Amino acid sequence: MRSGLTFGPALGLALLALVAGASVVRAEEVETCPVPASMLSTESRLSKVADAVNDGRALDILVIGSRSSSIGGSQDGAYPARLQAALKDKLPQLAVNISVELQPKQTAEETVSGFVKLLETKKPTLVIWQTGTVDAMRSVDPDDFHAAVDQGVTALQNAGADVILMNLQYSPRTETMISGSPYMDNIRAVAQEHDVPLFDRFSIMRQWNEQGDFDLFSAVHGPELARRVHDCIGRALSNFIFDAAHLGPAQQN
């Protein structure tokens, strides 16, 4: 793993504002964070997830991400844990297992190099790959990024897993510091080329900020804000998976 990535103090503090410290969300603290149905629907289908649920088999999910897939380096209260809780609520009759593979400071190309071994070990039904953040911060050539994501999705699909691509988190404090658009455009392009769902985390978080559901500019409520946002992301992602797998109320009983 290469670790040559360095950040200036302002950028580092801004990016970590949403991922510093956390505690587990209690039931009475569940946040109201509406997401339009159009953002949680996709024409791409998670057929292997659907088969696992319909056959009553365990749903094994692997999340591959960067630091923004955790809170202060911990999984307590982070969106993968909240996703697992939401799916268990929806599918109480099934075993729902989520494992997390964090690849901090790694570009898409660096992450993909370990996919074959990782998939042989984990054998997931579904892989959620959050990518683009480090590439944007390193200003990796967008064409090289596209090629790496394309290679990665191909490897995941060849290993027999369903795939969801997830783009960058939104932060108004870093919009002028890094240019994420070329990377998000390429993530979307690869998703379309491979017919895999794209969970548009960036647009969802930006809408929450613009609507006043969360103040993502302020760092004053860093740990608390991170915990609340991750809970909302986890629950939105569970709805997105249900839509992509074409699962309905019958499967929840």
Q: Domain with 175 in it: what CATH number?
A: 3.40.50.1110
Which residues have a Cβ under 8 Å from the Cβ of 147 and sit 6 or more positions away? none
DSSP state of 95: -
| Entry pTM | 0.83
Assigned domain for 12 exists: no
In the block, residue with structure tokens 């697992």: 84
Asked if the structure places residue 164 within a domain, the reply is yes
Q: For residue 147, is it within any domain?
A: yes
Is residue 199 within 8 A of residue 237, CB to CB? The reply is yes
Q: How many domains does the chain have?
A: 1
Separation of alpha carbons 234 and 244, rounded Å:
15
> In the prediction, which pLDDT does 32 show?
74
> Would you state the pLDDT for residue 68?
74
How many helices (H) and strands (E) are present in the chain, helices listed first? 10, 5
Pairing, β 126-130 against β 198-199: unpaired
- Report whether 58 contacts 21 (CB < 8 A): no
Diameter of the chain by CA atoms? 51
Question: Which residue, 226, 229, 206, 65, is CA-closest to 132?
Answer: 65
Three-state SS at 152 = helix
Query: Is 178 in contact with 190 (CB distance < 8 Å)?
Result: no
In a domain, 52, yes or no: yes
Quote the domain boundaries for residue 212: 40-244
Count the neighbouring beta carbons within 10 Å of the beta carbon of residue 181. 13
Burial class (CB in 10 A: 0-12, 13-18, 19+), 38: exposed
In a structure prediction context, what are the per-residue pLDDT tens digits for the chain, which is 253 residues long? 333 333 343 443 343 344 333 333 333 344 578 899 999 999 999 999 999 999 999 999 999 998 777 777 677 889 999 999 999 999 999 999 999 999 888 999 999 999 999 999 999 999 999 999 999 999 999 999 999 999 999 999 999 999 999 999 887 766 667 889 999 999 999 999 999 999 999 999 888 888 776 665 565 556 777 888 899 999 999 999 999 999 976 565 5
User: Are 7 and 187 a contacting pair, CB within 8 Å?
Assistant: no
**Spatial contact of 154 and 92, defined as CB atoms under 8 Å apart:** no
For 216, other C-beta atoms within 10 Å of its C-beta total 20
Query: Is residue 31 situated within a structural domain?
Result: no
Asked if residue 7 is part of any domain, the answer here is no
> In this structure, what are the phi and psi dihedrals at residue 93, rounded to the nearest 5 degrees?
-85, -5
pLDDT of residue 12: 39
